[in-house]
């Protein structure tokens, strides 16, 4: 008989509670390490609504506080109600004679499965319109692969946002319509919630995630060098890409030079 067994069930219960308390401390400590730098030194970048200029493209970012903006008439399939859903909302509509799906809201874990179920019911659209402050990178990559498999286009209106993980969905379109005024932005992000792992395993997980994203972007025809902006922009800030950069990284086609021979 082991020593624990001899001491009775009370001792075993105390050991289990002690182990659970230890895990709780680890989780709390990891969360504290994650948010403490931002709490001690919050971003002093301009507000998201401040005018953008080349070289001045980093803005403060909170996905729950992205302001609603007024779109040009007839620039999007559905009117903007001003509300950004807390998880992706899918709506199937006819717009300009085309089958369109609008995708609005934060990208939450499980939204990729929900999108697959939605497509199974509604069928593949010709165009997917995006308006999202981002969220789950893993789900964004899966949704993007589904869009590419359907050979659908992606689009935004001049008042829509596609931030954080959303550009990975935007990248999946066979063509991408991103008008002047649309906000497309990138920053650092997390690839999971394995915050109780040892530091070296957490770093390995992040590096693997970054590698998966870069491979995905390359497969979608996007220059993975766009990640240079994401890697140096903290999670409480967002780097907004200019139209010129969207062309440089192949989100948009290059403008033809009419003077070229």
pLDDT digits (tens, 9 = 90+) for 133-162: 999 999 999 999 999 999 999 999 999 999
Which residue did the predictor score with more confidence, 9 or 133? 133
Q: Would you say residue 222 lies in a domain? A: yes
Which pLDDT does position 205 carry in this prediction?
Answer: 67
| Number of compact structural domains in the chain | 1
Which pLDDT does position 195 carry in this prediction?
Answer: 41
Q: Would you say residue 164 lies in a domain? A: yes
Between CA 178 and CA 158 the distance in angstroms is 8
What is the average per-residue pLDDT within 53-62?
Answer: 93
Terminal Cα-to-Cα distance of the chain (whole angstroms): 90
Burial class (CB in 10 A: 0-12, 13-18, 19+), 168: buried
- Tokens representing 171 are 């990248």
Domain CATH code at residue 213: 3.90.226.10
Cα dihedral value 114, 115, 117, 119, nearest 10: 170
Residue entry with tokens 């959303």 = 166
Between CA 227 and CA 167 the distance in angstroms is 11
Q: Would you say residue 195 lies in a domain? A: yes
Q: Would you say residue 13 lies in a domain? A: no
Q: Would you say residue 142 lies in a domain? A: yes
Q: Would you say residue 18 lies in a domain? A: no
> Would you list the DSSP string of 101-116?
EEEES-B-TTHHHHHH
Partner residues linked to 103 by β-bridges: 90, 130
Percent residues over pLDDT 90 in the chain: 64
Residues 73-93 as b/e (b if ≥16 CB within 10 A, e otherwise) read: eebbbeebeeebeebbbbeee
* Phi-psi group of 185: left, alpha or beta (phi > 0 → left; psi -120 to 50 → alpha; rest → beta): beta
Q: Would you say residue 36 lies in a domain? A: no
Give the range of the structural domain holding residue 223, as residue numbers without chain letter. Answer: 83-248
Between CA 248 and CA 138 the distance in angstroms is 25
Q: Is 0.85 topped by the overall pTM?
A: no
pLDDT digits (tens, 9 = 90+) for 114-132: 999 999 999 999 999 999 9
Which residue did the predictor score with more confidence, 153 or 8? 153
Q: Would you say residue 154 lies in a domain? A: yes
Q: What is the largest CA-CA distance in the chain?
A: 91
pLDDT digits (tens, 9 = 90+) for 13-45: 555 555 555 545 554 454 444 444 555 567 889
- Range scoring the smallest mean pLDDT among 36-45, 85-94, 157-166, 221-230: 36-45
| Averaged pLDDT of the chain | 84
Between CA 229 and CA 24 the distance in angstroms is 34
């Amino acid at each position: 008989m082991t020593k624990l067994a001899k001491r009775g069930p009370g001792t075993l219960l105390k050991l289990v509670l002690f182990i659970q308390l230890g895990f709780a401390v680890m989780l709390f400590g990891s969360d504290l390490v994650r948010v403490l730098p931002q709490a001690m030194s919050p971003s002093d970048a301009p507000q998201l609504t401040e005018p953008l200029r080349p070289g001045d493209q980093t803005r403060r970012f909170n996905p729950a506080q992205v302001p609603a903006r007024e779109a040009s008439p007839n620039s999007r399939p559905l009117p903007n109600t001003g509300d950004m859903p807390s998880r992706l909302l899918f709506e199937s509509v006819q717009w300009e004679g085309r089958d369109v799906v609008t995708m609005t809201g934060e990208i939450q874990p499980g939204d990729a499965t929900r999108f697959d179920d939605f497509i199974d019911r509604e069928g593949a659209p010709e165009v997917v319109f995006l308006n999202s402050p981002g969220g789950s990178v893993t789900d964004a990559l899966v949704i993007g692969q589904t869009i590419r498999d359907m050979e659908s286009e992606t689009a935004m209106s001049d008042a829509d946002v596609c931030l954080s993980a959303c550009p990975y969905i935007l990248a999946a379109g066979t063509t991408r319509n991103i008008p002047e005024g649309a906000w497309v932005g990138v920053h650092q992000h997390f690839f999971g919630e394995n915050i109780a792992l040892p530091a070296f395993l957490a770093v390995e997980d992040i590096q693997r995630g970054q590698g998966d994203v870069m491979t995905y972007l390359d497969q979608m025809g996007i220059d993975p060098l766009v990640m240079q902006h994401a890697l140096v922009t903290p999670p409480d800030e967002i780097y907004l890409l200019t139209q010129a950069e969207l062309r440089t990284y192949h989100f948009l086609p290059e403008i033809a030079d009419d003077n070229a021979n």
